[in-house]
Structures are given as C-alpha cells and as structure tokens.
C-alpha cells in the first residue's frame, strides 16, 4: 500500500535510541485466528493488582465468556472462559514471568464447540454512564499494550474525570512487535469505535492517535477511519521509547508530566489501540476480554500475528507459525529491549503477551562480559527520563538503595536504552530492577514493622484505659458504699431513744482521757516511770522552773550585797564569804520549796537537786560573791583612808 505520511507538530523528548526494527518479519501475513488448543491454562495473575477470586470448581462445565474469577478489590481484573469446556484443574503451574515461578492457574479443557454464554451489547451512548463503567469490572479488560492495568480503574463512573485529552498509543516503538500495527491496518474502524467509547466515558474533547512513521499502512488506515470524526492521527518519528505513555504525551502535546504526578492529574488519559478495541467488543457485543493479537516472530518459519485465546500454550502458537527453526535457543516475551526470557514453551499466552520472539545466538548474541564503567555518560545522553544511569548503577551496585531512590530510581521505565549504548556492556537495567526490588521489600518490611508497632501501642493504650475504667468503677462503688453506711448510721442515731446517754458516755470517756493525760504528766516527773506527757508541755515546765530559780538567786544576791554595804557603812566588820554562801543557799532552798509547793518539782527530786546541782551552783555563786565582797572591802578601806 502506498501511504502518504505527514508528520505533524511534535515535541521531541530527551534521549532515545534507534535499535534495528525487524518489524517486517511479521507483517507479511494478515492476522490469523489460532485454532483451539487441547487445553487452556489461565493464570489468575495476568494484570496489575489483586488476584481475582475463583468462582468455579474442578469438573464444572463452562461456556465461552463465562466468569471464572471475579475482580477482587479496586485494582483487579476478572478472568473468563476463552471457550466452552470443562475445568480440569485449579492449581499452580508455570506462568510467563521473569521469575519463572509457578502461580495459581485454572485449567480448561475445550469441548471444541466454542459455545458462547448469552451476551449482547448495550446502547452505551444513552445508557447510564455509572452502570456501564461499573460493569467494566466484569469485562476483564486491562491495558493490552503490556502494562495490564485494569481499564475500569481508568474510567470514572461519575464522568468527572477532568480529562480533556485522550491519547491513543499506537506508537509500538519496540523492535519486532507488530501486533498494533497489524490491528490498525486490519481493524481501524473497530478501533475508532472503541476510541469513541473511551472518549464518551472520559468526557474528553480532544483525541490524538500517535503512530510512529514506520507504520505507513496503519497510518493511512487510521486516517481513513477517523475521517468523519474530530479525532486526529499524529505521526511521530520512529524513536525508541516513544511508545512509553509519558514520552508519547510529550511528543504529542509538549507536556512533561512531573515524576510525582499522573497524566490524568493533568487532564490527559492514555489508552492502547488494542485496549480500545476490547472496549468496543465489550460494549457493542457484550464480549469480555478473551483473546489478543500476538506477534509470533523471530526464528520461526512463518512469522505472523495471531489472534490467540488467553491460556493457549506457547507451543501451540509456535506450531501455528510454522514451527521454530532448528537453531532456536530460547523465547523472549515482549520486545528485545524490555522483554524477558520464557522458561519453556508450555507457558500460556496471557493478557500481557504482545509478542513472542524465537531467539538464536545469531539474532541475539550473548552479551560480552561487563567491564568497568568508564564514565562516558552515553547512558545519560539517551535516557528518556533524564536520569543519571551511571550514578544509579553505582548506587545499586554498592547497595546504597536510599541514594538510588534519591536519584529517582523509580522514575526509570526500564526501557534499556542506557544498556543498549553502554560501551562497557554493563547490564544496567538488571541493576535497577535489583535495587527496586530491594527497596520495595525493605519498604514492605518497614510497613509491617510500623503496623506491628501501632497495633502494640493500641493494645497498651487499651490495657491502660481498661485499668483506669476498673479503678474508676471501684472508687464509685466505694463511694456508694460509704454513702449507704452514713445513711444507716444517721438512721440509727435518729431511731435510738437514749441518745443523750450515749453523749454522756462519750463525755465521760473524754474526761477519763484528760485525767490519764495528767497522770502521764506526773509519771514524767518520776525518773523510774516512762514519761507520757507531750514534749512541749515538759519543756515549758522546765523553762518556767529555771526562770523562777534564776530570779530567786538574783534577789538573794541583791539582799546580800545590801547587807554588806550596810555593815560597811556602820563600821561593822563585814561578814565573810560563808555568810553570803549561806544566804544564797537559803534562797535556793526557799525557791525549791516553792517549786515543790506548786508541783513543778517533786519532793524527792527537789531534795536531790539541792544536794547535787543546786549545791554546785551555790558553791560557784558563793565563790563569786566572796571575790566580789573582798574587792568591795578593799575599795571601802581605800576610800576611808583617803577621806581621813
């Protein structure tokens, strides 16, 4: 077909590479419908999100299009029977995944009748949008460009998506893959119908279909199909990875979607051409997602695109393509840039399988041994996300994952452009995948630890709260009991006739206590009886006695002085010291007698004091008085001599 290709206004993104396309291999024949295989193995995990819930049992006979597993949770997708037959097994089987590990699968043995379940399309233009979009959960449709994100999540049931531009991704930039190209060539009108459905649900006012300029037939077919619509076919230059959704948005609209935002937040939604075709089959015919177009290419005898039921073994597809050539060593699912090796030819075709390449060492030479990074920065030049691949490599290699995250490791789309140009043959993408998986595992572990800690804190808080509640209940019960008791006592007091007698008894008891207190005071004064009086009363009594004693002694001394002065004045010989001492002793004896009389000092103690302490005091005072008297006599004698 002679195609007229006009490249419209486009906005080039950073980087990109031009690997050999090898697309013509599989575009020489039209899309073929694959025959029914002997059995279909349907992995439950064919999409991004939760595993769907199985709704059938082993032994059940099912019809084509019947629900086998329903979507579980918001992000999930249903699985349907690709043909009529019997469920023979629900168990683990090897699935097409880089890990090569088995996963849960439903095995269906076709009955060969291919009998459909009752199904019909809907008038989607006039039906309630909410019901239609919600019903998409039952369709099993996911992004068929390879992302496998459930489509119902991308359409808002309330019609308020805020999307103004719908971008249809028909770039198909990766080498070897031609399924979208062939789909557009052969089914452009159906694709446009699917685009109209998506546009209707999104409320988008603008539709742009981005196709690389290496697909002239597809471009022409699509241009014809959109001729009577407002949809626009935009031809973009062939450059890997222009098929990445963000790169395509940049190419078509010149908008750079920030790494922390989604396209829908900027009013843009992106759908693959195969996905919108599936929307058309579902809404216009009631057919759930049961099959897809797969490019079977590479080292097979008749590379071709096939319409393949999900669950078909790869071996069946290889056979349909004329078988693999003898030197085929392995099979790659996806393209050579982002694909991965399949473990064997028994793996089933799934919703993500857009291309299978039979590989040989001639087509894909084993990579030479990696050499040290020479810091040439070629990887940075081609990175479409404007990352620093060599820095990410160093961080991943040294397990410095946090630093890798800081350098936006998760913005890496694993396109492999950096590895493709690296002169040191470093498998850079493998390093990035390793670092990402480690970070994800670490985040999950941290999340689990945080959850455990929160649960423990909640448990401790609950225990503390229950303790407080118990204490409060006890306090309330005690208070209630006390109030009850007081009420009973009051009632008893009111009911007793001899209340006065009780009061009298209480007064008598108080009197007895007072008497006991006085008795204790007496005992305190006796050395052989333990004191029971309070310390304050005892010290007060002693202080009073000392003051009285001091006053009496001072008075006695004053009288003695007066007597001496009078004797000297009358010319009588002064009395000696013995006189004074006796007077003082007499005074002391008088004081003690008075103290005894008022009960401050018992008689026995008074006698003891007189003989011990008071005798010592009296002796000291006597000595002092004798000295003073002698001094006064000497003064008087001297004064008398001077007068004479």
Chain contacts with ligand SF4 (rule: CB under 6 A):
373-379, 382-385, 387, 389-390, 393, 412-418, 422-424, 426, 428-429, 432
The least CB distance from residue 454 to ligand SF4, in Å, is 35
Based on CB atoms, which residue is closest to ligand SF4, 16 or 37? 16
Burial tier of 198 (Cβ tally within 10 Å: 0-12, 13-18, 19+): buried
The least CB distance from residue 398 to ligand SF4, in Å, is 14
The least CB distance from residue 21 to ligand SF4, in Å, is 19
The least CB distance from residue 411 to ligand SF4, in Å, is 7
Based on CB atoms, which residue is closest to ligand SF4, 283 or 431? 431
Burial tier of 330 (Cβ tally within 10 Å: 0-12, 13-18, 19+): middle
Write the CB contacts of 569 (distance below 8 Å, at least 6 apart in sequence). Answer: none
The least CB distance from residue 431 to ligand SF4, in Å, is 9
The least CB distance from residue 413 to ligand SF4, in Å, is 5
Residues composing the chain: 644
Tokens coding 551: 């006053």
Based on CB atoms, which residue is closest to ligand SF4, 310 or 420? 420
Q: What three-state secondary structure class fits 502?
A: helix
Range list of β-strands (E), 226-366 = 232-236, 268-272, 291-298, 304-309, 330-333, 340-341, 355-359
Based on CB atoms, which residue is closest to ligand SF4, 414 or 538? 414
Write the CB contacts of 100 (distance below 8 Å, at least 6 apart in sequence). Answer: 94, 343
The least CB distance from residue 353 to ligand SF4, in Å, is 22
The least CB distance from residue 174 to ligand SF4, in Å, is 13
Based on CB atoms, which residue is closest to ligand SF4, 343 or 384? 384
Q: What b-and-e string marks burial along 629-639, b requiring 16 or more CB atoms within 10 Å of the CB? A: beeeeeeeeee
Q: How far is 583 from 572, CA to CA, in rounded Å?
A: 18
Q: How far is 643 from 233, CA to CA, in rounded Å?
A: 154
Based on CB atoms, which residue is closest to ligand SF4, 101 or 371? 371
Q: How far is 75 from 297, CA to CA, in rounded Å?
A: 32
Based on CB atoms, which residue is closest to ligand SF4, 204 or 382? 382
Q: How far is 471 from 575, CA to CA, in rounded Å?
A: 88
Q: What three-state secondary structure class fits 630?
A: helix
Based on CB atoms, which residue is closest to ligand SF4, 323 or 427? 427
């Amino acid at each position: 077909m002679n195609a007229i290709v006009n490249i419209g206004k486009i906005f080039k993104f950073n980087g990109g590479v031009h690997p050999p396309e090898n697309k013509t291999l599989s575009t020489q024949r039209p899309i073929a419908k694959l025959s029914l295989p002997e059995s279909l193995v349907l992995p439950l995990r064919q999409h991004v999100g939760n595993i769907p819930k199985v709704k059938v049992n082993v032994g059940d006979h099912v019809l084509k299009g019947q629900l086998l597993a329903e979507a579980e949770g918001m992000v999930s997708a249903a699985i349907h029977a690709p043909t009529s037959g019997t469920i023979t097994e629900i168990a683990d089987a090897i699935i097409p995944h880089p890990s090569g590990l088995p996963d849960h699968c439903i095995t269906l043995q076709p009955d060969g009748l291919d009998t459909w379940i009752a199904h019909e399309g809907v008038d989607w233009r006039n039906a309630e949008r909410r019901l239609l979009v919600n019903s998409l959960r039952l369709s099993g449709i996911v992004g068929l460009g390879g992302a496998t994100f459930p489509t119902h999540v991308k359409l808002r049931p309330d019609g308020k998506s805020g999307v103004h531009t719908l971008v249809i991704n028909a770039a198909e930039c990766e080498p070897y893959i031609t399924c979208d190209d062939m789909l557009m060539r052969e089914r452009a009108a159906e694709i446009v119908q699917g685009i109209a459905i998506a546009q209707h649900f999104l409320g988008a006012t603008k539709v742009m279909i981005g196709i690389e300029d290496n697909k002239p037939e597809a471009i022409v077919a699509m241009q014809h199909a959109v001729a009577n619509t407002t949809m626009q076919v935009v031809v973009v230059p062939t450059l890997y990875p222009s098929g990445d959704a963000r790169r395509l948005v940049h190419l078509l609209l010149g908008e750079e979607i920030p790494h922390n935002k989604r396209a829908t937040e900027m009013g843009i939604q992106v759908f693959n051409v195969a996905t919108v075709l599936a929307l058309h089959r579902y809404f216009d015919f009631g057919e759930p997602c049961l099959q897809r177009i797969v490019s079977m290419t590479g080292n097979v005898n008749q590379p071709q695109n096939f319409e393949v039921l999900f669950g078909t073994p790869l071996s069946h597809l290889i056979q349909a393509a004329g078988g693999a050539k003898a030197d085929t060593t392995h099979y790659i699912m996806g393209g050579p840039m982002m694909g991965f090796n399949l473990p064997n030819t028994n793996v089933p075709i799934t919703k993500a399988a857009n291309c299978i390449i039979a590989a040989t060492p001639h087509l894909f030479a084993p990579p030479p041994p990696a050499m040290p990074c020479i810091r040439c920065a070629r990887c940075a030049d081609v990175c479409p996300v404007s990352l620093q691949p060599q820095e990410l490599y160093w961080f991943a290699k040294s397990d410095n994952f946090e630093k890798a995250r800081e350098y936006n490791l998760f913005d890496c789309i694993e396109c492999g452009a950096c590895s493709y140009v690296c002169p040191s043959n470093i498998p850079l993408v493998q390093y990035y995948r390793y670092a990402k998986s480690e970070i994800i595992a670490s985040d999950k572990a941290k999340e689990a630890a945080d959850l455990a800690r929160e649960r423990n804190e909640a448990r401790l808080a609950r225990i503390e709260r229950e303790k407080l509640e118990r204490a409060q209940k006890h306090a309330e019960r005690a208070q209630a009991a006390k109030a009850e008791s007081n009420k009973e006592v009051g009632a008893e007091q009111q009911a007793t006739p001899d209340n006065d007698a009780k009061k009298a008894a209480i007064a008598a008891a108080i009197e007895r206590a007072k008497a006991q207190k006085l008795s204790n005071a007496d005992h305190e004064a006796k050395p052989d009886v333990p004191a029971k009086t309070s310390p304050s009363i005892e010290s007060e009594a002693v202080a009073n006695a000392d003051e009285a004693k001091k006053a009496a002694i001072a008075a006695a001394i004053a009288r003695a002085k007066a007597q001496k002065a009078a004797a000297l004045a009358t010319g009588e010989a002064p009395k000696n010291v013995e006189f004074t001492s006796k007077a003082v002793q007499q005074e002391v004896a008088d004081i003690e007698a008075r103290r005894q009389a008022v009960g401050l000092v018992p008689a026995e103690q008074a006698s003891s004091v007189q003989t011990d302490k008071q005798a010592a005091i009296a002796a000291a005072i006597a000595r002092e008085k004798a000295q003073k008297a002698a001094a006064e006599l000497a003064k008087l004698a001297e004064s008398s001599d001077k007068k004479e």
